[in-house]
Every structure is written in structure tokens, then in C-alpha cells.
Amino acid sequence: MEVAPLAHVAVMLLSLAAFLTLFVFRAQDDNRLTSWQWVFADADVFRITPILAVGLLLAFALARIPFPRRRPASALFVLSFAVGALSWAEPEVIVDAARYFTQAKHVELYGVGYFLTEWGGKITAWTDLPLVPLLYGLIFSLLGENRIFIQVFTTLLFSGTVVLTYHIGKTLWDEAAGVYAGALLLGMPYLLAQVPLMLVDVPTMFFLTLAVFMTIQALERGGTGLMALAAVAVALAFWTKYSAWLMLSVLPVVFLARHRNGPRSVRLRAGALTAASAVLIGTVLLPNIDVIMGQLELLQSYQAPGLRRWEESFVSTFLFQIHPFITCAALFSAYAAYKRRDSRYAIILWLPLLLVLLEIKRIRYLLPVFPMLALMASYGLREIRSGEVRKYVVLCIVTSSVVLMAFGFLPFAQKASAVNLKQAGEYLDSLAADRAVVIALPQLHAPVNPAVSVPMLDLFTSKRLVYHHDSVPAPAGEAANKSPLRFTWEYRNPAYYAAGTDGPGDTAVVVIASDPAQPLPASAGQRLQGYRLSREFIDPENVFGYRTIVKVYLPVREAPQV
């Protein structure tokens, strides 16, 4: 047998061994959303393993097909978009989506001017920056309030990040380094699970990567147009998320690693780019300085200490949630770069090293740095001399990740009680009633304000929701103040949920509970007089504290028997 086929067999067996080893030690995965000990609690490993084996065999055949040389960026874009779309059936499993949806809906209903004026005032901003909710709101305004448009948008940003990662690798080293780095972003199953969610992490990853790429281009090529675009990219990244401010520290590293002793013109470009970025950022920062300072104080007093309480281990992040081959290749890349005395490597090393040294053990805060990790892994894989074997390693990583996402993470998410809101919203859209009154009962298993369930349902239905706020006392004590869901108690549903009449005959009633047997308060029982249970969505889930069991009631004359 030839050397190359032997190497292929070894890579295939190692890929299967990696999956089975992680499965055996899945109890070590302490991820708060997609822990292997939850994902594979009911999954049949003997069903997934043959599927993975078949996928690895197909990858062997694909490794012999030349990658498109004319338009590799286009091929990466199409492939990544198709992979990202696989998870569109996933419900919104993180309650933070309620904040971004509510802020976006203000843009849709009242316009951009109102949003910019009232952001941080009547529009509660918590610790969110305005760019991503504004973009979501513009999508609602232009295309309609439908979650699918948000999913297409976030998937486009994911695919755009793949392409930008390719271009960074190609610019710093060569096309092969760029292609493999872009493809390796598909080897991170946690990232694939985040793509369809209405959060800010994937957009932050895109805009941060865009800022890095445009800075490299502007410093090396110059020109007024490129400098202006780079400054805009930096400003956009700045306004995505507070953690991006720390991550923008990579931009000086770009200059120092590439042009520290370069010509005077490059130093002038760096100064001009810094000044232009500061002006763009300042035009938004200064009018909102009071809001920003209040948010920074909250981050310092609540969010920063909270990271220690909500942390996830690096073992979970870099072995279970990211393919272990990527982690191994990234670690080896440091030695390879040191051996070559390659100063350009500092650009991709800076952020992963910084966040590890700062012990940021929360994967959602690390997610925007994943492109740099992919570039590190691609750099390490360059040490494999055989191009065909190197390609097969990348294909095995991608195949393993996609199989894990499609047959592990996605089915797990679809069993979460969050899917009840999705299915209830779709059912409401099939009804003749043009509005629905929502009754949100107190959560029994987590300190969550039940009012936050209203926008979570609104995301999945085109019906107008009516919600009359029933005061639920916030939990007292230090534990409640330190809860990662504390924001829900400072959340107030906007006035548009209280507008309009809700008389019987053209109105459905939706009850959102946290337990199928949860009793109704007297006020809810009175509201349901003349109504009959039409449909209930009670998919159980005993993993997350925040649970949503949904029952839909219709007037007796309209409601079919359950």
C-alpha cells in the first residue's frame, strides 16, 4: 500500500477515535448550552458512528477532487452557507434573543430616528451596543418581521466571515493557507449551532474579522477609498459588542507585525486610519456617553465578576465544542511559526493568546476569535507535506463537525422546550384570529421574569400579541443579583403589547407556563371563560431552568377538540 493511502486510513481512524473518546468522556464537557453530556444523553452513538464513518469515506473521495482554483472564495461561501442553513430549524434557545428582538422591533415600528434617540432610554439597552439590533430592525422594516430573514442575514455574515478568513490567510501567506482556514470554521460545531440565532455573537465575529482584513489592506495598499472603508469597518466592529473593544487591540499588532520598520508612508496610513476611526466612533459615542458609562459600570460590577461564576472550561471549548484536530494544529502552529521566525503569525496569535491568558472561560465571548484560531490551525497544517493528506485532514474535521451538528446538536435543540414557542407561533399564524392575548405564568425552575417570554413568542408569529403586565416580584437575595438572567427583571415589555382591544371572538389566548401541571391564577381562569383548549405544546426538557410550555385557547364555538 502506498504512503498516501496509509496516511488517509490513519487520519480516518484518528477521526473516529476522537469522536468515540470524547463520547466516553462527555461528562467532562461543562458547556452551558451544548454539552456533550446533554446532547448525547439520549442519542444513539451506535447510529451516529456509522454515519460518521460513511462521511469520512466520502471525504476520502472528495480529497482526490481538485478544489476550484478559479473562484475558491465563491466555493467557500456557497459551502458555508449551505452548512449554516442546516441549523435553521433550531429554535431560539438563548433568552437573550428577547432583548435584541425587542430593540429591533422598535426600529420596525417607530423608525431609525426614534431608535437612535431613545436607545438607552425608553428602549432598554442593558449592556448591548446598538449596531446589531439596528441592523435586525432594518431587516424587519424592509422585508417583514419574520425570523427567516434574520437567519438568512446571520448565515450570510457567517459565510462572509469564512471568505474574509480565506482572504486574510491568502494575504498573509498563500492561497492554500486561506482556503484551509476558511474551511476550518466549519469544523467548530458550537459555531454552527450559533449561526441561526438572533444574537450578536456571529455578527460581532464578522465585523471584527472585516476590521482586521480591511486594516491589513489599507496599511499595505493605501488610498483614500480603502482607508475610509477600513475606518468604517473598525467603527462598525466597535459598536457590535463591548468585548469587541478588547479584541480590536489586534489592529496595532497588524501594524507592528508587518510594518514596524516599514516606510514612512505606512506609518502615516496607520495614523490616518486611527484618527478616522476615532472620529467615526466619537460621533456616536459622545451623544450617548452617559448611557455608555452606565453600561460600563454594570459590566464592571456585574458582568466581569459573573464570568467566574458562569465559566466553561477550556477542555470543553477546545476539545468538545471545537474539533480537537483544530486545537492540536493551532498549538503546533506556534512552534512552526517560531521555527520560521514569522512575525506575521503574531497577528493571528494575539487574540487567542490574550483571551486564554485573561482566562476568559465563556465560549460566547471567545466566538469572535474563532477565525484567528482557524488561521492558526491552517498554519499548523502547512507542516503536513502531502497536499492531499492535508486536504483530507481538513475534510475529516468539517465532516465530523457537520455530522455532530446535524445528528447531535440540532436534534438536542429541537427537543428543548424553546421549540414550544416556535411551534405555537406557527400554529397561531394558521388561525383566523388576528390577535392573541398572552398570559405568562411565573417560572418555577429559574429566576426569570415571565414577561420575557412574550417577545420570544412574538419572534415566531405574525399575529399581534396583547400582554397586560401582571407584576411578578423579582427574586430577592445575592444569588438573584448574580444570576446570568438578571436582565429579565429589568426588562419591561413595550407599550405596543398593551395597545388595542382584546375582546372575545377574534382573539386567541396563549398561556405560557414552565410546567404542564402549573395551576392558573384566578385572573387567568376568568379570562379563559368561554374558551376551550385548542392546542398545547408540551415538549419536555429538564436541562435548562427556563422552560416554556405553551397552551393555546380559542373561543368555544371556534376551538376544535384537543
Determine, yes or no, domain membership for 69.
no
Indicate if 165 and 255 belong to the same structural domain. yes
Can you tell me which residue has the cell 447510529? 47
C-alpha to C-alpha distance for 390 and 325, rounded to whole angstroms: 12
pLDDT at 409 over 50: yes
Indicate if 274 and 374 belong to the same structural domain. yes
Domain boundary pick from 340, 367, 386? 386
C-alpha to C-alpha distance for 96 and 128, rounded to whole angstroms: 10
Indicate if 212 and 289 belong to the same structural domain. yes
Determine, yes or no, domain membership for 68.
no
Cell numbers standing for residue 271: 495614523
Cβ atoms of residues 128 and 99 within 8 Å: yes
CB-based contacts of 243: which residues, under 8 Å, 6+ apart?
A: 204, 365, 368
When pLDDT is averaged across residues 11-21 and rounded to a whole number, the result is 97
pLDDT tens-digit readout, 269-283:
999 999 999 999 999
pLDDT at 517 over 70: yes
In this predicted structure, what is the pLDDT of residue 491?
A: 85
C-alpha to C-alpha distance for 240 and 138, rounded to whole angstroms: 15
List, in sequence order, the alpha helices (H) in 119-263: 131-143, 147-172, 175-184, 189-194, 201-221, 224-238, 242-247, 250-259
Indicate if 368 and 438 belong to the same structural domain. no
Return the SS3 of 198.
coil
C-alpha to C-alpha distance for 542 and 327, rounded to whole angstroms: 32
In this predicted structure, what is the pLDDT of residue 92?
A: 96
pLDDT tens-digit readout, 524-558:
888 898 899 999 999 877 789 899 999 999 998 75
C-alpha to C-alpha distances, 200 to 129, 134, 555, nearest whole angstrom:
9, 11, 40
In this predicted model, which residue has the larger pLDDT, 256 or 502?
256
Indicate if 285 and 372 belong to the same structural domain. yes
CB-based contacts of 339: which residues, under 8 Å, 6+ apart?
A: none
pLDDT at 480 over 90: no
In this predicted structure, what is the pLDDT of residue 506?
A: 73
C-alpha to C-alpha distances, 128 to 35, 110, 218, 556, nearest whole angstrom:
26, 19, 29, 44
pLDDT band at 416 (very low <50, low <70, confident <90, very high): very high
Domain boundary pick from 334, 366, 386? 386
When pLDDT is averaged across residues 454-470 and rounded to a whole number, the result is 91
Sign of CA dihedral 417, 418, 424, 426: negative
pLDDT band at 44 (very low <50, low <70, confident <90, very high): confident
Determine, yes or no, domain membership for 244.
yes
Can you tell me which residue has the cell 467566574? 308
Cβ atoms of residues 466 and 506 within 8 Å: no
Cell numbers standing for residue 282: 466619537
Nearest-5° Cα angle at 186, 410 to 181: 165
Query: Which helix (H) or strand (E) covers residue 8, if one does?
Result: helix 3-24
In this predicted model, which residue has the larger pLDDT, 260 or 132?
132
Indicate if 379 and 431 belong to the same structural domain. no
When pLDDT is averaged across residues 78-90 and rounded to a whole number, the result is 97
Cα Rg of the chain, angstroms: 25
Return the SS3 of 369.
helix
Indicate if 328 and 431 belong to the same structural domain. no
Cβ atoms of residues 130 and 333 within 8 Å: no
When pLDDT is averaged across residues 433-439 and rounded to a whole number, the result is 92
pLDDT at 415 over 50: yes
When pLDDT is averaged across residues 209-231 and rounded to a whole number, the result is 96
Judged by phi (left if over 0) then psi (alpha if -120 to 50, else beta), residue 530 lies in: left
pLDDT at 410 over 70: yes
Total count of domains within the chain: 2
- Single pTM value for the model: 0.95
Average pLDDT, the chain: 92
Cell numbers standing for residue 409: 446538536
Cβ atoms of residues 299 and 127 within 8 Å: yes
Determine, yes or no, domain membership for 335.
yes
C-alpha to C-alpha distances, 434 to 146, 529, 546, nearest whole angstrom:
16, 19, 28
In this predicted structure, what is the pLDDT of residue 129?
A: 97
Indicate if 224 and 305 belong to the same structural domain. yes
C-alpha to C-alpha distances, 202 to 84, 153, 189, 233, 471, nearest whole angstrom:
12, 10, 13, 15, 35
Indicate if 284 and 229 belong to the same structural domain. yes
Determine, yes or no, domain membership for 497.
yes
Indicate if 346 and 465 belong to the same structural domain. no
In this predicted structure, what is the pLDDT of residue 1?
A: 40
> DSSP states of 484-512 as a string?
TTTHHHH----GGGT-S---TTSEEEEEE
C-alpha to C-alpha distance for 228 and 346, rounded to whole angstroms: 25
pLDDT band at 249 (very low <50, low <70, confident <90, very high): very high
Q: Bridge-partner residues for 266, per DSSP?
A: none
Query: Which helix (H) or strand (E) covers residue 532, if one does?
Result: strand 531-537
Determine, yes or no, domain membership for 105.
no
pLDDT tens-digit readout, 287-331:
999 999 999 999 988 887 877 778 899 999 999 999 999 999 999
Determine, yes or no, domain membership for 195.
yes
Domain that holds residue 433: 418-555
pLDDT at 78 over 90: yes
Indicate if 426 and 364 belong to the same structural domain. no
C-alpha to C-alpha distance for 239 and 376, rounded to whole angstroms: 26
> DSSP states of 149-171 as a string?
HHHHHHHHHHHHHHHHHHHHHHH
Cell numbers standing for residue 280: 467615526
CB-based contacts of 460: which residues, under 8 Å, 6+ apart?
A: 147, 421, 422, 424, 425, 426
Determine, yes or no, domain membership for 562.
no
Cβ atoms of residues 202 and 195 within 8 Å: yes
pLDDT at 347 over 70: yes
In this predicted structure, what is the pLDDT of residue 478?
A: 64
pLDDT tens-digit readout, 46-71:
889 999 999 999 999 888 887 777 89
Domain boundary pick from 386, 409, 435? 386
Cβ atoms of residues 362 and 311 within 8 Å: yes
Indicate if 518 and 446 belong to the same structural domain. yes
Residue type, 127: T
